[in-house]
Amino acid sequence: MSLTLLPFLLLLVLTGRKAESLSKSVVILYPPWFSVLKNDRVSLRCEGSGISENSSTLWLHNDTIIPIKIQDYNITAYNMTYSGKYQCQRGQSALSDPVSLEVFPDWLVLQTSKLVYMKGEPMVLRCHSWENKCISKVTFYQNDKGRKFFPHNSNFSISQVNSDDSGDYFCSANIGNRKEKSRVVRITVQDPSPSISLSSRIWYYILFYLVMGILFVVDTGLYFILQREVNGPKKNTRRPLTRWR
């Protein structure tokens, strides 16, 4: 193997992995909340890279095909049967990862875009009422008798979360003369896992293929040296015959 081919092999490997990652479809929720109440409207959009606008879309709900082929799937969550995982496949792209949607028959729900945040990320919580009924005295709670937050509206945000922001959250609000509480949502804040930069990964692959190339060259050299010694001319160890007179 020629060492000059190693960068090209590396480029092919990285390009193939990038193409593979870009070929998977993605389901996007709008609004971006995965917990909703009965009669809420939700829009699911199927996105994919390098796909024409005329490409058909395959939708699945709990592994069952939905008989529509459009990119935007709009639903009204009339009951809990709309809960579950949604996937899509657009054009020739691969099937998307599942996106979960939960429908609750409650007065209030605490909404968040995800349950696991990385340290330093922004977090937005929303106290949402059934059929968008008018609510007042909205309060957010962390760990029940822990911290309380009194926002100016139904949203509460933290610009950069840290480990202290992990915990069980719920909200309360007045709907008319009644005070209602949402279900508890457990949110976890994790430290970002150490990631290797792209340049570091490239040098890792270059070093790997370089070492493999050197070992190949050394092994090939030793092979030809041994072959030359085995097949080379042998010394004549026989004594010359003497003539008897």
The domain boundary, picked from 79, 105, 131, lies at 105
178: containing domain: 106-192
Give the model confidence (pLDDT) of 145-179 as tens digits.
667 888 878 999 999 999 999 999 999 999 999 99
Distance between CA atoms of residues 158 and 169, nearest Å: 13
| Tens of pLDDT, residues 195-204 | 555 555 566 5
Q: Does residue 84 share a domain with residue 111?
A: no
Where is the domain boundary, 145, 170, 192? 192
Q: Does the pLDDT value for residue 194 go beyond 70?
A: no
> Residue 79 maps to which CATH number?
2.60.40.10
112 and 184 housed in the same domain: yes
What strands lie across the sheet with 123-129, from one edge to the other? Answer: 108-112, 123-129, 155-158
Angle among Cα 111, 179, 177 to the nearest 5 degrees reads 130
Spatial separation of the C-alpha atoms in residues 204 and 208, rounded to whole Å: 6
Average pLDDT over residues 19-24: 60
| Number of domain units in the chain | 2
Q: Do the beta carbons of residue 72 and residue 45 sit within 8 Å?
A: yes
94 and 111, same domain (yes or no): no
- Is the whole model's pTM more than 0.75, yes or no? no
pLDDT confidence band for 18 (50 / 70 / 90)? very low
Give CA–CA dist 95/90, Å, rounded: 8
Q: Is residue 236 part of a domain?
A: no
Specify whether 49 is located in the same domain as 111.
Answer: no
State phi, psi for 212 to the nearest 5 degrees.
Answer: -65, -40
Last residue of a domain, one of 105, 139, 158: 105
Check pLDDT > 50 for residue 215: yes
Clarify whether residues 41 and 73 are in a common domain.
Answer: yes
* Residue at 215 is within a domain: no
* pLDDT above 80 (res 139): yes
Residues 97 and 130 in one domain: no
Do 135 and 129 form a contact (C-beta atoms < 8 A)? yes
For residue 78, being part of any structural domain is answered with: yes
In a domain, 13, yes or no: no
Q: How far is CA 147 from CA 25, 114, 168, 191, in A?
A: 40, 20, 11, 22
Q: Do 150 and 94 sit in the same domain of this protein?
A: no
**Is 161 among the domain residues?**
yes
pLDDT at res. 35: 97
* 9 is a domain residue: no
Same domain, 129 and 118: yes
Residue 227 lies in a domain: no
61 vs 237, more confident = 61
